Structure 1
């Protein structure tokens, strides 16, 4: 099993810009997000998993099996529940009582892949971000 905790550098976006546009992110913000090559730090303390992005600066705490609330860029409250199955951390989120999507972080010894999946107006959208362990 790969170690989850560590620091990761974003090295590749797959369909991320298009995904952001599809889910309603304004084009200028989507373009900016596509250009960022920041880092993500993952901390694990028992059942608590913390994801800390450096750009934009944001820290989100999750407790495996429990619903938590986090604020996102537009200050919307997102409710999320995390589950851990081996090397895979899955975060299922809702906004205003409606499903808002799933992030699946698959860890390996060399890095992680974060897959984004959501549905809007009955249409499915997906993207991923590839990180290397540093």
Structure 2
């Protein structure tokens, strides 16, 4: 079994800027966010929670239960996290009525992780990280 916990640095991304714009992120903010190279740290993973740190924010996601929290721009989102072997999946409602969603599938290997995010609008972004 692959160790899920660790710190991961971004090494490449595909279609991320377009993905952000498809969600309605203003062009200037989308450009800024697409240039960020902040690491992801998975601090702990258990049957009941996933604790992660990203963009200076630590979040403890309860597994299998909807969790409400605010992202860096103070926007509230709702996420359900699940774990299956070496894969963590986040299904997120990006607005209160659930009409805009994304699914992020994080596949972890010994050398890094691949984060594939697909929006309800059909836009997909892939980001590759190396384990450090």
Instruction: Verify the 8 A CA contact 2:10 2:38 in the aligned structure 1.
Output: yes
Could you list the structure 1 runs, at least 4 aligned residues long, displaced by more than 4 angstroms after superposition: none
In structure 2, the partner of 1:131 is 129
Q: CA RMSD in A?
A: 1.4
TM-score (norm 1): 0.89
Deviations 1:56-113 (A, max 9, x none): 3222221111111111233222111111111110011113031521111100000001
For residues 1-134 of structure 1, what are the structure 2 equivalents within 5 Å? 1-46=1-46, 47-53=48-54, 56-94=55-93, 95-98=95-98, 99-120=100-121, 124-134=122-132
In the alignment, the residues of structure 1 paired with residue 45 and residue 109 of structure 2 have an alpha-carbon distance, to the nearest angstrom, of 19
Distance (whole Å) between structure 1 residues aligned to residue 117 and residue 57 of structure 2: 18
Post-superposition offset of 1:40: 0.8
CA distance in 1 between partners of 2:37 and 2:102 (Å): 23
For residues 51 and 67 of structure 1, the distance between their equivalents in structure 2, rounded to whole angstroms, comes to 16
Greater share of strand residues, 1 or 2? 1
Aligned residues: 129
Counterpart CA distance in 2 for 1:125 and 1:61 is 27
Structure 1 residue ranges without an equivalent (≥5): none
- Residue aligned with 2:123, SS: strand
